[in-house]
Amino acid sequence: MTVRFVTGNEGKVREARAYLEGIDPVEQIEYDYTEVQCDSLAEIAAYGAREAFEELGSDDPVLVDDAGLFVDALGGFPGPYSAYVEDTVGVERLWRLAEAEENRRARFRTVLAYADENGTETFDGTVAGTLVAPRGDGGFGYDPIFEYNGQTMAEMSTEEKNAISHRGRALAAFTEWYADR
């Protein structure tokens, strides 16, 4: 089976490919699924994966990934609005907001939703780190300002990021389930 990853974000696909190597090929599909308005990443992702699977046709399974950065001192902002905030305010200015705070702890969360003819499953991943001034040119999105163990995620290789990241953890739970379902 080919896993169809429904996303406009190539960085997510690169990370899923690295993880699923030797299990199944991953194909990037662009499909504008409905983003239901709610605070739950799991509900957004599960709804999107189900809808994409039904609408796209074929038996190949579908993956959707809904992620967010949650800054402790900002009450979890930008959270589910992370994509909007990256596009409008930008990563550098989000760092400026965090820089003004004493507590610079933040969490990245992602929910991977999988859909096939048997149903929908979700897999969660979280990583806790510290916001720092931007460093590194790998990864994507907020990676340059998210530090884990002395390195920003933009200073890590795909494999290094997958070993510790929110998405890597969700992919680990997913592949374990997928391999022996």
What does the binding site for ligand ITT look like in residue numbers (CB under 6 A)? 7-9, 12, 65-69, 82-83, 86, 139-143, 153, 165, 167
Query: Any contact of residue 83 with Na ion (CB under 5 A)?
Result: yes
Shortest distance, position 116 Cβ to ligand ITT, whole Å? 19
The answer to the question of residue 91 lying near Na ion (CB under 5 A) is no
Nearest-angstrom CA–CA distance, 76 and 109: 11
Nearest approach, Cβ of 54 to ligand ITT (angstroms)? 18
Give CA–CA dist 28/13, Å, rounded: 7
d(CA 87, CA 72): 21
59 assigned binding-site residue:
no
Nearer to ligand ITT, 86 or 116 (CB): 86
Q: Is 29 one of the binding residues for Na ion (CB under 5 A)?
A: no
Residue 161 assigned ligand-binding role = yes
Which range in 67-75, 78-86, 128-136, 144-152 contacts Na ion by CB under 5 A? 78-86
Q: Distance between CA 131 and CA 142 in Å, rounded?
A: 9
Q: Is 137 a catalytic residue?
A: no
Q: Is 24 annotated as a binding residue?
A: no
Q: Which of 124, 114, 116 is nearest to 57 (CA)?
A: 116
Instruction: Name residue 166's amino acid.
Output: H
Which residue among 60, 65, 66, 137 is the active-site one? Answer: 66
131 binds, among Na ion, ligand ITT, none (CB under 5 to 8 A by kind): none
Nearer to ligand ITT, 81 or 118 (CB): 81
- Please enumerate, by residue number, every residue annotated as part of a binding site for substrate: 7-12, 67, 140-143, 161, 166-167
Residues that bind Na ion (CB under 5 A): 83
Binding site members for Mg(2+)? 35, 66
Which residues sit in the known binding site? 7-12, 35, 66-67, 140-143, 161, 166-167
